[in-house]
Amino acid sequence: MDNRNKVHTSFNVEVVWQDRSSARSILAAIVLVGLLSARLVYTTFITNTKPLEQPLIINSFSRTVRKRFHAWMFLFNGPRIIQDRFDKANGRSFEVLAPDNRYVFVSSVKHIKELDTAPDTVLSLQAASKQMLQPVYTMHGFNWFDRRGTEGVGFVRALRTLLTNNLPQILPDLGVIVRTRFMELHSTHTTQNAKNEQFMESALAYIEETLICAEIVRLIPKFLVPFIGGIIAWRLKSHETVFDTLLPIAEQRCQERDLQNIGQAVPEHADCIQWIMATSPRQNPWTAKRVVHELMAIWFGSVHALSTTITFAFHDICIHPEYVQPLREELQTKYGAFERTGTGLPLLDSFIKESARLTPVESMSTRRSALQPFTLSDGTKVSPGDWACTPVRAIMQSAEYYPEPMKFYGFRFVDSTILLKSASSNLNFRQPVASKFTDVNQAWHVWGTGRMACPGRYYASAVMKVIIGQVLKNYDCKLAKPVGPCSATLRSSRHSVATLRLGVNIDHELQTESLPSLLQHAD
């Protein structure tokens, strides 16, 4: 006889932006810098031109103003601008201007390979990331080199190998944390962070503040960057809290490393701090400060895109409820094996991939900043400071690679032998060749391309499956406000509007006898 007590309840989970003023801050900064730039252009033309010459340059001035206007429009409508240029290019390279940069987009297999094989001294991913994130002002003074490998690339092995190999040990605990967190929301409707509440709040705010600070610094004139950037870094405190909290831990680990080197026994640790230290250069090991800087960069890269992708996936679950039942059946029978291995769940994997294909976080991938002049085989020139990149959203929504590209088919990437034929044509639709969310190929640039593909993609994919899987197993989700846009745009990125106002209506059948054991594991 089943003696478990079942409690039928419902509650709303509101995902809210903790500081709504941040969105207004970004917009106000963009508008202000735009007005200053327009004024500077106008003043330059007028003050450097004699009165009789002014009528002769009015057309040139108008063209300049129009060009700058379109460049500033990229900040608000980047994905659409990239898509329009992609459609007109017919496979050729094309350029898009932003207020602070020139982007050269390539989409052919030949040109993408040319980007991937270009030396790091010519086209640099690290230089592009440095310009995008402005780490000197957003990551407590972190100032990495433009060229990859100058101070080692230990983080690549730490993420691709050590972190991935430890997924079977990480995922069960992560599942407990997710389940416990939702139970807390269900019982109290209050926010309870981890043991160090100030650190957790700062760690979450750090992502948003990095975006704000970096965007402002990128747009202001270069001679003002040290002054304005310093003020913003001083005003936004989250990166300082994160750094100050992690530094003593990293210093203790460095002391243990030194003791181990002289033969003394030290505690064993299996976490990202230790893996970063273990893969730093042997001849010149990273200091505690450098280890924390690496962790802060990894934290931003792992949280921002991952959380937004999960949010878009939940949105698709709500508007395509026909996928819920087959996904739940897969989770009921195969989730345990997934936790033990870190692999599997092909239906959920395909659903997340299809969601990411139609609502990608980014419309630009494979970013490379030119450190030296570079010329593509078609003659297109990339000057120092320009970026070469791929139009990832346009490629993933191209009929050349994806049949019926604008229709959502959640199981389009599943092997036809895995899922039996269903009455629903949506569930039966397949790509000619099955693939995985973590794949990297000519039609899938979510993780970058070639030798620079994201080393943490296996961990990111597994975390997405844990969070989405736990919710699907235990809750029925509905959009609080089904009508309206699901995302907003800044540059080439899409940010979920759901982060601001999405509600999830949850009907949960809770097995109360499992609570004590779950909470015990969570402790």
Residue 499 has which token pair?
Answer: 């982060």
Distance CA 512, CA 207 (A): 36
What sign does the CA torsion over 501, 502, 508, 512 have?
Answer: negative
Which helix (H) or strand (E) segment holds residue 63: the answer is: helix 58-89
* 453/111 Cα distance (integer angstroms): 17
**C-beta of residue 193 within 8 angstroms of C-beta of residue 200:** yes
What are residue 490's phi and psi, to 5 degrees? -140, 120
Task: Say which residues have a Cβ less than 8 Å from residue 202's Cβ, sequence separation at least 6.
Answer: 237, 238, 239, 241, 242, 245
- Reported residue count of the chain is 523
Contact assessment for residue 239 and residue 210, using Cβ atoms and an 8 Å cutoff: yes
**Cα 344 to Cα 172, 328, 357, 419, 474, distances in angstroms:** 15, 14, 20, 14, 20
Binding residues for heme, by number, are 454
- 24-43 b/e with 16+ CB inside 10 Å = b? ebbeebbeebbeebeeeeee
Instruction: Compute the 3-state secondary structure of the chain and give helix, strand, coil in percent, each to the nearest 5.
Output: 60, 10, 30
- The full DSSP string for 318-341 is HH-GGGHHHHHHHHHHHHHHHHHH
* Calpha distance 466→472 (Å, rounded): 10
Write down the residue that tokens 């031109």 correspond to: 49
* Pair of tokens at residue 4: 């478990």
Closest CA to 461 of 160, 154, 133: 160
- DSSP for 440-472, please give it: -BTTB-TT--GGGS-TTHHHHHHHHHHHHHHHH
The pair of structure tokens assigned to 36 is 């200053």
Pairing relationship of beta strands 94-98 and 123-124 according to DSSP bridges:
unpaired
Give the annotated binding-site residues. 454
How far apart CA 357 and CA 448 sit, in angstroms, is 14
Nearest to 467 by CA among 360, 307, 319: 307
Our measurement of the distance from residue 209's CA atom to the centroid of its chain's CA atoms, rounded to an integer in Å, reads: 15
Distance of CA 99 to the CA centre of its chain: 22
Instruction: Indicate the residue type of 149.
Output: G
- Kindly tell me the burial class for residue 383, based on how many C-beta atoms sit within 10 Å of its own C-beta (0-12, 13-18, 19 or more): exposed
The DSSP letter of residue 471 is: H
